[in-house]
Amino acid sequence: MGDTKRVLILTADVGFGHRSTAIAIEAALDDLYGELCQAEIVNPLDDKRVLPILRDQQEDYDKMVRQMPDVYKLGYQIGDTQIPAAITESAFVVMLFYVVRDIIKHFQPDVIFTTHPMFVAPLNAYLTLHKPAIPFLTVVTDLTDVHRLWFNEGTELCLVPTQEAYRQAISSGMPPEKVQVTGIPIHPNFVKETRQPAAIRADLGWDPYAITALVVGSKRVKNLMNVLHVLNHSGLPLQLVLVAGGDDGLYEKLKATHWHLPAYIYNFVNQMPAFMHASDLIIGKAGGLIVTESLACGLPQLLVDVTPGQESGNASYVVEHGVGELAKTPVDALEVLCHWLEHDARLLADRARISRSLGRPRSAYTAAELAWQIAERARIERPLLPTSHHLDAGRRLRELLATFGISSTDES
């Protein structure tokens, strides 16, 4: 296999998906290469030098999404236009240059991943100025309607989840040879779970033979209790598996409810691969990670909430591909399930078949293998002499940093 390789994975704790993707890649690298690979996940926003305007995003994200969704949507859309995106990239370079530089100098990686768009431009800036021989891969975590910040020609490879995202990358100026459709990396445990659904249900103490609806909530899922209230009184032939996702308030409400349908209640679980493989459908929100995991498990998706902005594209993908439906009201949710379950659940089976055809359960392994190949090639090939484009980009970056009193040398 060769010498030990060091893989640096940059992520941020804005929502669940970015870190979950990083963890999935780390686990896949360990499965494939074991002691030959040393991988480390780092969140640059944990550095105390990062301005609060960035660092506090991690704590304010949930509040903004829940309390001011229209403001969040507006900010997302404004930032996803060409001029504001370029300004935002420059701001990230200025605010994160030293932090990204020091992380790279400390870890000395052979290859780098980023699972958050905030770090793409700072990575490119430092590597353009100092270490062009260290390749980095960008891992996009939204199915479609991808923000421009994800796309930067400096990346060695941009891993996108869908053909729609691929087309967006190309239209944003990415060279086709630098874009590859891989799916969003999900944890290898989704591949390793091979038991039949009935066997998993029996092991978990559920009815092995009942149609099973997995309901996944969190602090970000609005109106879930209203949907569950309607379903609880529907008389549908379902058993409900209710996961609060670490939302203690929701968990208490679920426990306090008098359930007319069979219901199994959990707060936060670490066995989601088993839960999904044991289920026949999933009810929740349109997060990129959970949508991707559901596809990998062949689950039809009933979406009851969508965060404005990046999740709108995820919802459109689910609906337009026939994988699931979006219910805007509790009655809509009831209507969808009635249609899915009639005629011996024929429509539910059709949705499941489409879901399986779109799922990429080995996505994390694919990302790990690509990074390994790129790192191997980078060790063998000598760095090319800088092109005029590279030199011009470096000059512009030095001028930008100098404007803000930031040294572009490694001696600072």
Q: What is the DSSP string of 196-221?
A: -HHHHHHHHTS-TTS-EEEEE--TT-
Helix 57-67 and helix 69-79, axial crossing angle in degrees, nearest 10 = 120
In 3-state terms, what secondary structure has residue 79? helix
Name the nearest CA neighbour of 270 among 77, 16, 4, 44.
Answer: 16
> 230: burial class by Cβ within 10 Å (0-12, 13-18, 19+)?
middle
Name the nearest CA neighbour of 325 among 288, 282, 261.
Answer: 282
- The predicted structure's pLDDT at residue 391: 54
- The predicted structure's pLDDT at residue 20: 95
Contact 162, 181 (CB under 8 A): yes
Domains annotated on the chain, with CATH: 5-186+362-403 (3.40.50.2000), 192-358 (3.40.50.2000)
Contact 40, 29 (CB under 8 A): no
The whole-angstrom separation of Cα 45 and Cα 58 is 9
- CA 168 centroid distance within chain: 17
Instruction: Tell me the whole-structure pTM to 2 decimals.
Output: 0.86
Q: What type of residue is 69?
A: P
- pLDDT tens string, the chain, 412 residues long: the values are 458 999 999 999 987 789 999 999 999 999 999 999 999 999 999 999 988 877 776 555 444 444 444 433 434 443 444 545 677 788 888 889 899 999 999 999 999 999 999 999 999 999 888 766 899 999 999 999 898 899 999 999 999 999 999 999 999 999 999 999 999 999 999 999 999 999 999 999 999 999 999 999 988 788 899 999 999 999 999 999 999 999 999 999 999 999 999 999 999 999 999 999 999 999 999 999 999 999 999 999 999 999 887 688 999 999 999 999 999 999 999 999 999 999 999 999 999 999 999 999 999 999 999 999 999 988 766 554 454 455 556 666 676 677 766 766 665 5
Residue the block writes with tokens 């701001």: 91
